[in-house]
Chains A and B, each alone.
Chain A
Amino acid sequence: MSENGFPSLRLVPKAEAPLSTRDFKTDQEVRWCPGCGDYAILAAVQSFMPELGIKRENTVFVSGIGCSSRFPYYMNTYGVHSIHGRAPAIATGLASSRRDLSVWVVTGDGDALSIGGNHLIHALRRNVNLKILLFNNRIYGLTKGQYSPTSELGKITKSTPMGSLDAPFNPLSLAIGAEASFVARSIDSDRQHLQSVLRAAARHEGTALVEIYQNCNIFNDGAFEVLKEPGTRDEALIRLEHGQPIRFGAEGGSGVFRGPDGELFTAPVTPDNEARLLVHDAHAASPATAFALSRIADADTLHHTPIGVLRDVERPVYDQLMESQLATAAAHRGPGDLATLLAGGDTWTVD
């Protein structure tokens, strides 16, 4: 780990003086709807960035299309607001050619999982050094309220007046299935937790996928209310901590256990079963438990929704591998010489 604690930013120049939240705010008027969860996420990210200790000009935010994708305009860094679904591809080109940059992708459930699903899964399997923030509000906001790939089955929307027929994606299950080396979830309204997840993502070498539950107060208001309400959130949320037994509920009265069939289940913690509580291991080589955790929530009620880092493992990083092939080629064959290249092969001379 490098001196600033972010090994993935090893090649990124350090800031000469500490930066502040204000350094990351732009002069642009923020144009999200009043009350949108995106404001909270923006504030959390802006106040987190100085912690990285890197030069602001070496930070790039890349986005696609959708409400979330306006994000780069509000970050006083380099930024590209691209086209629908393609941000991971564009960011891959940037990150794999500029290892001195910290590259972040901001996307949404429609952008990342519908039109851009292919790019997302391939970025994850390649393990390019990208930090992907997926704002999941389970609805299409910018196009005014159609169902999204994470909307629940039967959802009534403008395009599904009789209810959606689509089974939704579970973004974290999808990411783990796509060989993601870092998978985490947080909530827009919990700044402290969100920043802890951003911190872990920023440390991670390779692609990090952070799903952020984000409230769309216009088209899908209250979608995650059960996870936020003081009366329900303790029962509904499972806060994962690496190395800790997984407990939740008031006073940690409930926990996650592994049954004799290998499946995970939740149950009240008793003196008898306390020793058998599942201990969270984000670094487990096998993705099996992380996958099981990603599916432990009740899809209808969102009860037992895990947040935090589900998976964080080391795997070869694409841009490092690419760089090392260039270095190997130059070491073996010497730096390329154009004249030699052009005159290679069989040549003849005409006088």
Chain B
Amino acid sequence: MTSQVDQSEAVDGSDGDKGRSGSAEERPATAGSADAHAPGGPPPSRAKPIRRLDRVIIRFAGDSGDGMQLTGDRFTSETAAFGNDLSTLPNFPAEIRAPAGTLPGVSSFQLHFADHDILTPGDAPNVLVAMNPAALKANLPDLPRGAQIIVNTDEFTKRALAKVGYPADPLSDGSLEGFHLHKVPLTTLTLEALKDSGLARKDAERAKNMFALGLLSWMYHRPTHGTESFLRGKFAKKPQIAEANISAFRAGWNFGETTESFAVSYEVPPARLPAGRYRNISGNLALSYGLIAASQRSGLPLYLGSYPITPASDILHELSRHKNFGVRTFQAEDEIAGIGAALGASFGGALGVTTTSGPGVALKSETIGLAVSLELPLLIVDIQRGGPSTGLPTKTEQADLLQAMFGRNGEAPVPIVAPATPAECFDAALEAARIAVAYRTPVFLLSDGYLANGSEPWRIPEVDELPEIDPKFATGPNREDGAFWPYLRDPHTLARPWALPGTPGLEHRIGGIEKQDGTGNISYDPANHDFMVRTRQAKVDGITVKPVEVDDPTGDARVLVLGWGSTYGPITAAVRRVRADGGEIAQAHLRNLNPFPANLGSVLRSYEKVVVPEMNLGQLALLLRAKYLVDAEPYNQVRGLPFKAAQLADVLSAAIGTLDEEDHR
């Protein structure tokens, strides 16, 4: 949750890693503390002391096959149901099952939850659950001293240690002395709990992630009924497996309650979010819902033409489940056919959409150019990932901005919108559809892997709050002589008429060859081409977008930090830290990258320094410098992971410091 928050709530820089937690208070156990129930039983008397925290960062890490993403998802759902604000970061390899026990095979899921508004999945975990030596080794560098580590000791065999290059057992060689280590034989305990389940050892072992989840659910007072009903639903056809997982889950909870190795449990009270009805939502799910909403609000049937690609495929999966909304999903033979079919459907009056990632955009470029020339509505959803080429398929990056902006032959301007948070992907889909339909143009929606898979609480909007989109189809001739000209434009928007096949009297032919202004007939006339190129550009330049808002509480800031896309969370968290330390900084975030908001130039010019953090090598900064002649200062990282708030806070403080030094010279 990232909006409508009183900044004063978070002035302690709560998105950072100041030790294990922001603040903690310990209180004695209260009988019948009602926020968590022993699974399957009545509310327990908590036998151990409870500490109250304002926020926690947990990272689950294990082999790709250990079910860490599922474990993280379930803990997230429990946390959302409890009412904390939260932010998640799944991080997994591209290989489906990398060799077991190896560093490249480590899959992790990080979750930050709090009793207040937070913006990022957190810089550094307070708690690491490591299912094997590889998970420990891969994640230890991210842990601050004093963090808790829960390890599955059963996996710390000589062979497993050797596989990741541990010369000695880190659990006993003293190297983890600065941490709070919990040694738990998770596999043994799971097998013990399931000894009467009738499952083969191999199957029973697989439930160890649920044991870990049960233990963490106990530690953090998470509600458990949701996970139990989830497991019953997931394994409805295999009740034996369902019961085994539930048994392991309960055993983990009870283990926490009874074992001496866990002396305290922790409570993170629900967050004070703006009033409303909430659900937890990932970026790709929000985007899918946004597309369906755009279809419903425009009356245009949704047609998705897509080819599977990480990390965009989940949108194809999700939309294919909603055929009762009249949604057509077409899994094409390749990326080009995916967008081709979407464009063909648009010609027929559908809301044509194609979903992909960077390599797919490269293949679709020619068809995007055709859509620019045909001037038909079309959405191109790019869930950016690490590049170039295949790059880092499961990791995040923002390096497709210039591809979206310029990656076509000829002058082929395409509007670009970019959501800032997972939940905002919903609004971005509606905004992209609004522009596409109103201006008869392809529109890029640039999300990324971090937004796609990350999740946060979302205040569910009322349907009638959502914008309406009027397709304004052409219904009759637009010339006094009774003729229909397919390129006779609306004088205000410069949009051309959208005449659907089946409309009598409006038969027309359109194509990728340059056409005469108005009539749309083929034209090689030099002056006409010059006019049409400038007109298509003017149409995109003239799109109405909301002004960019600047957050400058005192009005005295000299440095502006400007971002776009998924860097919103870390940038905002960093800004809070800087302000908490007494620094003055202004912040703005772009949701529309083409055209830029009309007030952007004056905003940029009203600050002495503009810092632009991006997960690329400075693509927005390049555009700002070119368009506004401002000395935008890029700060860049392409590690496949989001920025950390602490890192950005240092950069922003340094920028402020540089100006102060110049003053004193």
Binding site for B on A (CB under 8 A): 13, 26, 28, 55-62, 65, 72-73, 75-83, 86, 89-98, 100-101, 118-119, 122, 322, 325-326, 328-330, 332-336, 338-339, 341-351
Known: A57-B501, A346-B77. A97 touches B301 (CB 8 A): yes
Residues of chain B in range 274-327 having any CB-CB distance to chain A below 8 Å? 274-280, 289, 292-293, 296, 301, 303, 305, 322-327
- Separation in Å of the B1 CB from the closest CB of chain A? 10
Minimum CB–CB distance for A245 against chain B, Å: 40
Q: Are A119 and B333 in contact (CB under 8 A)?
A: yes
Q: How near does chain B come to A47, taking the closest CB pair, in angstroms?
A: 18
Q: Which residue of B lies closest to A125 (CB)?
A: B333
Q: At the interface, yes or no: B553 with Cβ under 8 Å from chain A? A: no
Is B490 engaged at the interface, CB distance under 8 Å to the other chain? no
Nearest CB of B to A61, in Å: 8
Return chain B residues, CB-CB under 8 Å to A95: 344
A28 in contact with B521 given A94-B348, A322-B328, A325-B323 (CB within 8 Å): yes
A118 touches B333 (CB 8 A): yes
Chain B 343-384 interface 0/1 with A at a Cβ cutoff of 8 Å (1 = within): 111111110100000000000001101100010000000000
Question: Are B279 and A338 in contact, CB atoms less than 8 angstroms apart?
Answer: no
A80 touches B324 (CB 8 A): no
Instruction: Check: B199 CB closer than 8 A to any chain A CB.
Output: no
How far apart are the CA atoms of A225 and B462 in the complex, in Å? 70
Is the CB of B330 closer than 8 A to any CB of chain A?
Answer: yes
In the complex the two chains form, is A329's CB within 8 Å of B324's CB?
Answer: yes
Q: Is the CB of A338 within 8 A of B296?
A: yes
- Chain B residues with Cβ below 8 Å from A348 are 80-81, 83, 277-279
- Contact across chains for B374 and A57 when beta carbons are under 8 A apart: no
- Chain B CB within 10 Å, residue with most, of A62, A81, A333, A348: A348
Q: Are B324 and A330 in contact (CB under 8 A)?
A: yes
Residues of B within 8 A of A101 (CB): 348, 501-502
The one of A72, A96, A322 that contacts B509, using a Cβ cutoff of 8 Å? A72
B467 close to chain A: CB less than 8 A:
no
Rank and list the top 9 A-B pairs by shortest CB-CB distance, nearest first: A81-B511, A93-B344, A89-B340, A93-B341, A336-B325, A329-B323, A79-B509, A89-B337, A90-B344
Number of A-B pairs, beta carbon distance below 8 Å: 210
Query: Can you pick out 16 interface pairs between chain A and chain B where the beta carbons lie within 8 Å of each other?
Result: A78-B508, A80-B374, A89-B340, A92-B330, A92-B340, A96-B341, A97-B350, A326-B324, A338-B463, A341-B289, A341-B292, A342-B289, A345-B280, A346-B279, A349-B278, A350-B273
Cβ–Cβ < 8 Å partners of B279 in chain A = 343-348
Smallest beta-carbon distance A317→chain B, Å: 15
For chain B, the count of residues having a C-beta within 8 Å of the partner chain is 70
Q: Chain B nearest CB: distance from A117 CB in Å?
A: 11
Q: For B352, what are the chain A residues with a Cβ–Cβ distance below 8 Å?
A: 93
Quote the shortest CB–CB distance from A194 to chain B (angstroms).
23
* Residue B5 interfacial (CB < 8 Å): no
Is the CB–CB distance between A350 and B274 below 8 Å? yes
Interfacial chain A residues near B513, Cβ < 8 Å: 81
Residues on A with C-beta less than 8 A from B502 are: 13, 55, 57-58, 98, 100-101
Known: A57-B503, A341-B289, A343-B279. A73 touches B303 (CB 8 A): no
Contacts of B341 in A (CB 8 A): 89-90, 92-93, 96
Provide the residues of chain B in CB contact with A56, threshold 8 Å.
Answer: 504, 507
A231 to B328, CA, bound (A): 54
Q: Of residues 584 to 605 in B, which have CB atoms within 8 Å of A's CB atoms? A: none
Beyond A56-B507, A93-B345, is A346–B350 a contact (Cβ under 8 Å)?
no
Query: Which chain B residues border A93 with CB–CB below 8 Å?
Result: 303, 305, 330, 340-348, 350, 352
A83 touches B508 (CB 8 A): no
Known: A81-B513, A89-B336. A349 touches B507 (CB 8 A): no
Chain A CB within 8 A of B510 CB: yes
For residue A50, give the distance in angstroms from its CB to the closest CB of chain B. Answer: 15
Query: Quick one: given A89-B341, A350-B83, are A82 and B505 in contact (CB under 8 Å)?
Result: no
Shortest CB–CB separation between residue A108 and chain B, in angstroms? Answer: 15
CA distance A328 to B323 in the complex (A): 9
Q: Are the CB atoms of B293 and A338 closer together than 8 Å?
A: yes
Q: Chain B: which residue is nearest A72 at the CB level? A: B509
Q: Give the residues in chain B near A338, CB-CB below 8 Å.
A: 292-293, 296, 325, 463
Does B461 touch A at the CB level, under 8 Å? yes
In angstroms, Cα B226 to Cα A107, docked, is 56
Asked if residues B80 and A82 are in contact (CB atoms below 8 Å), the reply is no
Q: Decide: A119 and B340 in contact? CB cutoff 8 A.
A: yes
Q: In the complex, how many angstroms separate the beta carbon of A166 from the nearest chain B beta carbon?
A: 23
CB nearest to A90 among chain B residues? B344
Chain B, 513-549, CB within 8 A of any chain A CB: 513, 521-522
- Tell me, rounded to whole Å, the shortest Cβ–Cβ distance linking B480 to chain A: 18
- Closest-by-CB residue of A relative to B459 is A350
Report Cα–Cα, A336/B324, bound state, in Å.
Answer: 5
With beta carbons under 8 angstroms apart, the residue of A28, A97, A334, A335 that contacts B328 is A97
Hey, which chain A residues are within 8 Å of B81, CB to CB? 346, 348
Measured CA separation A97–B369 after assembly (Å): 22
Q: State whether B345 touches A97 (Cβ < 8 A).
A: yes
User: Which among B279, B340, B502, B522 has the highest number of chain A CB atoms within 10 Å?
Assistant: B340
Task: Name the residue on B nearest A57 (C-beta).
Answer: B504
Contact B461 A82 (CB under 8 A): no
Q: Which residues of B (112-168) have their CB < 8 Å from a CB of A?
A: none
Q: Give every chain B residue within 8 A of A86 (Cβ-Cβ).
A: 336-337, 340, 366-367
Kindly state whether residue B437 has any CB partner on chain A within 8 Å. Answer: no
Residues in A whose Cβ lies below 8 Å from that of B343: 90, 93
- Please name the residue on chain A nearest to B302 by beta carbon: A97
Say which residue of B272, B277, B324, B337 sits within 8 Å of A335 (CB atoms): B324
Expressed in whole angstroms, the minimum distance between the Cβ of B194 and any Cβ of chain A is 27
B460 at the interface (CB under 8 A from A): yes
B506 within 8 A of A: yes
5 other A-B residue contacts (CB within 8 Å) besides A78-B509, A96-B328: A79-B511, A83-B367, A90-B341, A90-B344, A97-B348
Closest to B288 in A: A341
Does residue B334 face the partner (Cβ distance < 8 Å to A)? Answer: yes
In the complex, residue of chain B having the shortest beta-carbon distance to the beta carbon of A77: B507
* Alpha-carbon gap, A72 to B521, bound state (A): 12
Contact indicator B461/A98 (Cβ below 8 Å): no
Shortest beta-carbon distance from B426 to chain A in Å? 9
Cβ of A326: which chain B residues have Cβ within 8 Å of it? 323-324, 326-328
The answer to whether B332 has its CB under 8 Å from any CB of chain A is yes
Give the docked Cα–Cα distance between A97 and B327 (Å).
10
* Closest chain A CB from B290 CB (angstroms): 10
A-chain residues with CB within 8 Å of residue B330 when the two chains form the complex: 92-93, 96, 322
Distance, CA A176 to CA B344, complexed state (A): 26
> How far apart are the CA atoms of A101 and B511 in the complex, in Å?
19
Q: Is B512 close to A, CB under 8 A? A: yes
Q: How far is the CB of B189 from chain A (nearest CB, A)?
A: 28
Closest residue of chain B to A84 (Cβ to Cβ) is B366
Closest B-chain residue to A351, C-beta based? B275
